[in-house]
Chains A and B, each alone.
Chain A
Amino acid sequence: MNTAYGTVTPAIAGAIADIVGAHHVVYAEPERLAPYGRDESVEADGARPPELAVRPGSADEVQAIVRLAVAHRLPITPRGAGSGLSGGAIPIHGGIVVDLGRMNRILEIDTENLMVVVEPGVVTSEINEALRPHGLFYAGYPMSLETCCIGGNVAENAGGGKAVKYGVTGRYVMGLDVVAPSGELLCLGGKLVKDVTGLNLLQLMVGSEGTLGIITRVILKLLPLPRASADLLCLFRSPREAIGAVPRLMTRTGIIPTAIEFMDRTSLQASCRYLNESLPCADAGAMLLITVDGNDPERIVDDYERIGEACEAAGAVEIYVADNRTTSERLWRIRRNVAEAFKVFSPHQSLEDIVVPIAAIPAMVEAVERLSATYGVPIPCYGHAGDGNLHATPVMNPGWTLERWRETLPRLLTDLYRETARLGGRISGEHGIGCKRKAYLPLVLDAGTLAMTRAIKRALDPLNIMNPGKIVDPEG
């Protein structure tokens, strides 16, 4: 299929330079193009630098670039921070990378309508920093909020630690400006809480991984910022006990925590070792990290005591409490640093993102343990227990050859995904399909769904130039 695309000639590069200014174009400089050839998915195959990278400053410029790409049939890959975990921003067919990092302004904080209007290149945590003085916040952010961009969050429909209570990115996206694969600018939605005017193209774009257009403006719904929060770190003897506590603590206490994070023994110990954290967890088989938030500090105390007691009833052997930001940070950094800790153990790993109904988590964790034993591959397991989203992460044994790892991983993943599907789950909860999981999509989606997905892609992007090679190929 690659042969169908044109190449970026010096003349085309010149035309793009005329659109955005020469110093916002990188062309024929392999060293400066190389970083555009990868993202944070370590094992994503087919990583390849683009022929040209461009940093537009406005939607007009994005439109002009897309029209040029249409005219010359050049593949386009939109890119934010490059912090994705499914290869979504990797230009596997070469062509043009549209780096939206320059479009990084917060355009409007609308306190009357509780909305914020931003450009796609804004780093997600900056939105909340700007909102804090107004007593508001954007609740849909993922764990990587200090590095990722909001445009990428929308394109991937990112989730994160707080999804149990607040849901994921899509819930907060009220409006989008999108440059379609034709070069046309679509203005979808608006500052509206309700809107059933026409097909819901807005939510079609959310999570479309840059395959249906380039996001140039985002309207997000805001919530009042909770004034108080507390975290509980609960140690359990086994993953089964820890996971088993999750539905019970919600039904017994009637409290929806903000976050319920899970880490198995391997993840917990690796992270503590990495951080030099002396938490006495040597005997723990698993942990839950539970956050509650709200506006009344007394109520928070009551909430965490009831949740803590429910965890004790479910078998927690020790529970630590953090009710100030310093202690809270000490607990959360254990959870946030798992992936980094495993990179120290082995640089070759496949960060997975399976999601199952929450009641199926214990069975899923056991299936992961079985697969780990069968293949002789460590698969530490951590993730968002409260919404069934587990980052089971096969890690290459340091003693293995890369060939053996590359040969084993696809078989292991196939088994893992089959087991996930059998339990009613899907292969990605928040990281996306990209090029990393594309081949496995038929394991979890039925033929009709796949055909309709392809039909949509063909209809909206007939030349297949918008982030080609991601999610599905237009012709199955």
Chain B
Amino acid sequence: MRLVVPIKQVPETTAVRMDETTGTMVRDGVDAIVNPLDLYAVEAALRLREAAPDGTIEVVALSMGPPRAEVALREVLAMGADRAVLLTDRAFAGADTWSTANVLAAAVRRLWPVDLILCGERATDGDTGQVGPGLAAFLGLPVLTYVSRLALQPPAQCRVERLVETGRERLEADLPAVVTVVKELAEPRLPTLRGKQRARRAEVAVWTAADLGLPAEDLGLKGSPTRVERIFRPRLGRTCERLTIRDSADLEAAADRVVAVLNARGLL
């Protein structure tokens, strides 16, 4: 059985800065990490492999990104993935979720036969949550989103529990399928020293646009039907009233004022 985990390298969440003129993320000098939500998908895949008889499941990590995204793939190899493929080409640059899912789908086809594709719920930078379902659409596979529990049912089914607004939903699906997982599934393991050493020596396969045989007009910025028009910090329309408290009398007056304001809006 082959499980594929597409991952994304993202800037450290605490360090995200946007260039307001170009509408793109400032990546220079910012630490890059594996999208934290993808790590849950990696953990899910590794647990499925561990639950199955030795050597019957292969976990392949996949990432589209600049050459330095190789670091992210090595982190996932260190966690225990069997091999990794980096999709990198200048032609991919600026891809939106449609174009990204299209490229990933082509890579999955090249890895075929594949039984299960495990994705994070969304990436912490773009926050769209569209690539997993998009991938399923391009591949014509069933998609199960927000999965909080997951088990394989041989020979070719999986059983999942989804976290939905109304509660939990139990579903069975035929494989191959695409699953996007949520945090509740299992906390990702930490890479071990031995894992790191193994990952350093491992070979990361590199595939370019030519390897995937996709038409140039479907790639990158050119192949992206959506465009970022403008990025800006939304202005919150809050009006403040400042109450200065210097002594107990002020404190009483301030409390009265807060009560009055809340009352006026019918909030008490």
Chains A and B form a bound pair: yes
Chain A residues with CB under 8 Å of chain B are 22-23, 29, 232-233, 277-279, 301, 304-305, 308, 312, 318-327, 330-331
Task: Tell me if B197 is interfacial: C-beta within 8 Å of chain A.
Answer: yes
CA–CA, A83 to B246, complex, Å? 24
B190 & A324 in contact (Cβ 8 Å cutoff): no
A308 & B193 in contact (Cβ 8 Å cutoff): yes
Q: B193 contacts which of A320, A325, A330, A331 (Cβ < 8 Å)?
A: A320
Closest to A276 in B: B187
Q: Kindly list chain B residues whose C-beta atoms are within 8 Å of the C-beta of A232.
A: 193
CA–CA, A407 to B172, complex, Å? 63
Of the A-B pairs whose beta carbons lie under 8 Å apart in the complex, a sample of 28, sorted by A's number, is: A22-B246, A23-B246, A23-B247, A29-B247, A277-B187, A278-B186, A279-B190, A312-B193, A319-B193, A321-B78, A321-B191, A321-B192, A321-B193, A321-B195, A322-B190, A323-B196, A324-B12, A324-B32, A325-B12, A325-B14, A325-B31, A325-B33, A326-B12, A326-B33, A326-B36, A327-B190, A327-B191, A331-B190
Q: Kindly list chain B residues whose C-beta atoms are within 8 Å of the C-beta of A331.
A: 190
A320 & B190 in contact (Cβ 8 Å cutoff): yes
CA–CA, A325 to B32, complex, Å? 9
Q: Kindly list chain B residues whose C-beta atoms are within 8 Å of the C-beta of A318.
A: 192
CA–CA, A327 to B196, complex, Å? 14
Task: Tell me if B263 is interfacial: C-beta within 8 Å of chain A.
Answer: no
Closest to A278 in B: B187
Which residues 40-81 of B have a CB within 8 angstroms of A?
A: 75, 78
- In the assembled complex, the CB of A297 is this many whole angstroms from the nearest CB of chain B, namely 10
Q: Kindly list chain A residues whose C-beta atoms are within 8 Å of the C-beta of B75.
A: 324
CA–CA, A304 to B195, complex, Å? 13
Task: Tell me if B21 is interfacial: C-beta within 8 Å of chain A.
Answer: no
- In the assembled complex, the CB of B68 is this many whole angstroms from the nearest CB of chain A, namely 12
A305-B197, A326-B33 are contacts. A320–B12 as well, Cβ < 8 Å?
A: no
- In the assembled complex, the CB of A296 is this many whole angstroms from the nearest CB of chain B, namely 16
CA–CA, A29 to B250, complex, Å? 13
Q: Kindly list chain B residues whose C-beta atoms are within 8 Å of the C-beta of A277.
A: 187
Q: Kindly list chain B residues whose C-beta atoms are within 8 Å of the C-beta of A326.
A: 12-13, 33, 36
Q: Kindly list chain B residues whose C-beta atoms are within 8 Å of the C-beta of A29.
A: 247-248
- In the assembled complex, the CB of A324 is this many whole angstroms from the nearest CB of chain B, namely 5
Closest to A326 in B: B33
CA–CA, A331 to B191, complex, Å? 12
Task: Tell me if B159 is interfacial: C-beta within 8 Å of chain A.
Answer: no
Q: Kindly list chain B residues whose C-beta atoms are within 8 Å of the C-beta of A325.
A: 12, 14, 31, 33
Closest to B32 in A: A324
CA–CA, A232 to B194, complex, Å? 12
- In the assembled complex, the CB of B65 is this many whole angstroms from the nearest CB of chain A, namely 16
Task: Tell me if B17 is interfacial: C-beta within 8 Å of chain A.
Answer: no
CA–CA, A233 to B193, complex, Å? 9
A22-B246, A326-B36 are contacts. A321–B12 as well, Cβ < 8 Å?
A: no
Closest to A307 in B: B193
Q: A233 contacts which of B33, B190, B195, B197 (Cβ < 8 Å)?
A: B190
CA–CA, A297 to B13, complex, Å? 21
- In the assembled complex, the CB of B249 is this many whole angstroms from the nearest CB of chain A, namely 11
CA–CA, A409 to B175, complex, Å? 64
Task: Tell me if B110 is interfacial: C-beta within 8 Å of chain A.
Answer: no
- In the assembled complex, the CB of B237 is this many whole angstroms from the nearest CB of chain A, namely 29
- In the assembled complex, the CB of B144 is this many whole angstroms from the nearest CB of chain A, namely 24
B246 & A305 in contact (Cβ 8 Å cutoff): no
CA–CA, A321 to B247, complex, Å? 53
A321 & B190 in contact (Cβ 8 Å cutoff): yes
- In the assembled complex, the CB of B179 is this many whole angstroms from the nearest CB of chain A, namely 21
Q: B31 contacts which of A308, A320, A321, A324 (Cβ < 8 Å)?
A: A324
A29-B248, A232-B193, A319-B192 are contacts. A324–B78 as well, Cβ < 8 Å?
A: no
Q: Kindly list chain B residues whose C-beta atoms are within 8 Å of the C-beta of A322.
A: 190
Which residues 184-234 of B have a CB within 8 angstroms of A?
A: 186-187, 190-197, 200
Q: Kindly list chain A residues whose C-beta atoms are within 8 Å of the C-beta of B33.
A: 324-327
CA–CA, A408 to B229, complex, Å? 69
Q: Kindly list chain A residues whose C-beta atoms are within 8 Å of the C-beta of B193.
A: 232, 304-305, 308, 312, 319-321
- In the assembled complex, the CB of A247 is this many whole angstroms from the nearest CB of chain B, namely 20
Q: B200 contacts which of A278, A301, A319, A327 (Cβ < 8 Å)?
A: A301
Interface contacts beyond A321-B191, A325-B33: sample of 14 additional A-B pairs, CB < 8 Å, sorted by A: A23-B246, A278-B187, A304-B193, A305-B193, A320-B191, A320-B192, A321-B192, A321-B193, A323-B196, A324-B12, A326-B12, A327-B33, A327-B190, A330-B190
Q: Kindly list chain B residues whose C-beta atoms are within 8 Å of the C-beta of A324.
A: 12, 31-33, 75
CA–CA, A323 to B246, complex, Å? 48
CA–CA, A277 to B189, complex, Å? 10
Q: Kindly list chain A residues whose C-beta atoms are within 8 Å of the C-beta of B36.
A: 326
| Binary per-residue interface labels of chain B (132-150) against chain A in the complex, 1 for a CB within 8 Å, 0 otherwise | 0000000000000000000
- In the assembled complex, the CB of A29 is this many whole angstroms from the nearest CB of chain B, namely 6
- In the assembled complex, the CB of B27 is this many whole angstroms from the nearest CB of chain A, namely 14
- In the assembled complex, the CB of B1 is this many whole angstroms from the nearest CB of chain A, namely 25
CA–CA, A23 to B248, complex, Å? 11
CA–CA, A232 to B31, complex, Å? 19
Q: Kindly list chain A residues whose C-beta atoms are within 8 Å of the C-beta of B12.
A: 324-326
- In the assembled complex, the CB of B125 is this many whole angstroms from the nearest CB of chain A, namely 13
CA–CA, A320 to B197, complex, Å? 12
Closest to A230 in B: B196
Q: B196 contacts which of A22, A23, A312, A321 (Cβ < 8 Å)?
A: A321
Q: Kindly list chain A residues whose C-beta atoms are within 8 Å of the C-beta of B195.
A: 321
Closest to B199 in A: A321
Q: Which 4 A/B pairs are nearest by Cβ-Cβ distance? A: A319-B193, A320-B190, A23-B246, A308-B193
Q: Kindly list chain B residues whose C-beta atoms are within 8 Å of the C-beta of A327.
A: 33, 190-191
CA–CA, A315 to B247, complex, Å? 61
